Chain A
Amino acid sequence: MTRARSFGLVWPYLLAVALGSLLGSIALPVLSLVEGSTSTPLARVGFALRENPSASSATWAVLDADLPVVRSSMAAPQREVFDLVVAVRGLDNGGHSDWARAEKICGTLSWPRCDKDALVQLKDLSRP
């Protein structure tokens, strides 16, 4: 069997795996939109912000599609501050803070303090 022929046999399966898992993972958000979900992206992000940061990674992963929606609803400079909160709370990182990114964002805001000690305190102080 030639290499081209064996590829010809395998690619429909590879395509099926890729397409199936993609459609399967977006089916629920699409269904929620069509049927009217019990919560909105703003509410889910709001819920994550008031929850304990030690919540499971899977819970935070649900927010991946919600964060850009919330971000786009804000105007500058609140948008950049929201990015900072996302970084210190680790909303897009399984609840793990990204201090390097937080310091960078804080620097662009030209705030008086952007050291890690201040950002660690910000993690708690920003909680609603």
Chain B
Amino acid sequence: MKLPLDKRAYGPLLVFSLAFIIGFATTRGPRARFEQAIVQLNDAERSALPSLPGVTVANAVWALGSDDAVKNMLRSELDRLPETEGRARARVLVRFGIIDSNPDGQAAVFFQACVSDPSLCERAPLIAAAERETRARLVEPGRHLPLYLLAGHP
């Protein structure tokens, strides 16, 4: 009776198995550590992870982007973020207020930020939030506090 597998196939099969195990082990180690690190986060941090690439892109545009790039980014962020994400929407609105050149426009935008995040309805926290954003911007416009926050509404 003839063997179903040729004896000559045993060597390559053994090599295949070893290579498979090495390849599997090589990818399993880092991936398992990665998955474990994510599992260790609390529920809120874990559920926020998928939005972080978008947040990072928005931060990058805010840091270095041109006036038009920033305005386009802020509009798309406001479209993307639901009303329930009050703090994130407020941050976008504060950025909008900073680059808005019109004091009346600034007042309207900062009022919307207050509606989205009531902690920004007081003047001091609003100025502190705006200062954080101006420090995160490396190019003009948007490196200085807007007139509305410096002098109050005319």
A-side interface residues toward B, CB under 8 Å? 12-13, 15-29, 37-40, 42-47, 49-50, 56, 58-59, 61-62, 70, 74, 77-78, 81-82, 84-85, 106, 109-114, 118, 121-122, 125-128
Contact = CB atoms under 8 A, between A and B. Distances in A.
B17 A20 contact: yes
Contacts of A70: 53
Nearest to B55: A128
Interface of B: 8-9, 11-13, 15-31, 33-35, 37-39, 41, 46, 48-57, 59-66, 69, 72-73, 76, 136, 138-140
Given A47-B41, A61-B30, 13 more contacts: A12-B8, A13-B15, A16-B16, A24-B25, A25-B24, A38-B38, A47-B52, A49-B52, A49-B56, A62-B31, A110-B66, A118-B139, A126-B63
Task: Please give me the 5 A-B residue pairs with the lowest Cβ-Cβ distance, nearest first.
Answer: A24-B23, A20-B19, A46-B52, A58-B30, A46-B49
A43 B20 CA distance: 28
Contacts of A38: 35, 38-39
Contacts of A40: 50
A114 B31 CA distance: 34
Nearest to B21: A24
Contact of B38 (A44, A56, A81): A44
Q: Determine chain A's interface SS by DSSP, over half rule.
A: helix
A121 B30 contact: no
A39 B126 CA distance: 36
B15 to A, nearest CB: 4
Contacts of B57: 74, 78, 81-82, 85, 126
A9 to B, nearest CB: 9
A56 B37 CA distance: 13
27 contacts: A16-B16, A19-B19, A20-B20, A20-B23, A23-B23, A24-B20, A24-B21, A24-B24, A28-B27, A28-B28, A29-B27, A37-B35, A42-B49, A44-B34, A46-B53, A47-B37, A59-B34, A78-B57, A81-B61, A82-B53, A110-B66, A118-B64, A122-B63, A122-B64, A125-B62, A126-B57, A127-B56
